[in-house]
Amino acid sequence: MVESTASWEKEYDEKKFFAKITNYAAQIGMEIVYKALELYYVTMNPDCPLKVKVGIYSALAYLVSPLDIIPDMTPGIGYTDDISVIAAAIVMAQMYINDEIKQNAYTRLVTIFGEKLVRKIRY
């Protein structure tokens, strides 16, 4: 039984997370970056159960980790494993993704990439 997220939070590094999504958004895809941001904000929800937060921290840690099953720099398929992990975490966290979390994720996306670029994608 997991009693706290402390050890998982150590594996997940917020600075690395934002650096990765900012620097590699074109390769990862704006939609996946948005979903990763939703997960990020779900972890701040006090109603979200610990086991869901641990799953999210694991997925976000995998996204920023330089060690992948498929290396990120592999043309065409480099982020498919990262996308799969984020998608699994989204399924696990879906019931905790409310309108406020969606708005926070969208606002952060605009902050990072600019409204003109983000506006092209509807969320």
Q: Examine residue 12 and state whether it is found in any structural domain, yes or no.
A: no
The whole-number pLDDT of residue 5 equals 57
The whole-number pLDDT of residue 45 equals 94
Q: Examine residue 50 and state whether it is found in any structural domain, yes or no.
A: yes
Count Cα neighbours of 38 within 13 Å in the Cβ-side half-sphere: 22
Q: How far is CA 91 from the centre of its chain?
A: 13
Q: Examine residue 95 and state whether it is found in any structural domain, yes or no.
A: yes
Q: Examine residue 99 and state whether it is found in any structural domain, yes or no.
A: yes
Domain count, the chain: 1
Q: Over its length of 123 residues, how does the chain's per-residue pLDDT go in tens digits?
A: 455 556 555 566 778 888 878 877 777 778 888 999 999 999 999 999 999 999 999 999 888 877 665 665 555 556 778 888 999 999 999 999 999 999 999 999 988 888 877 776 655
The whole-number pLDDT of residue 115 equals 84
The whole-number pLDDT of residue 106 equals 92
Q: Examine residue 14 and state whether it is found in any structural domain, yes or no.
A: no
Domain span at residue 71? Answer: 29-119
What whole-number distance in Å separates Cα of residue 83 and Cα of residue 23? Answer: 16
The dihedral through the CA atoms of 89, 94, 98, 103 has a sign that is positive
Task: Please say whether the beta carbons of 60 and 40 come within 8 A.
Answer: yes
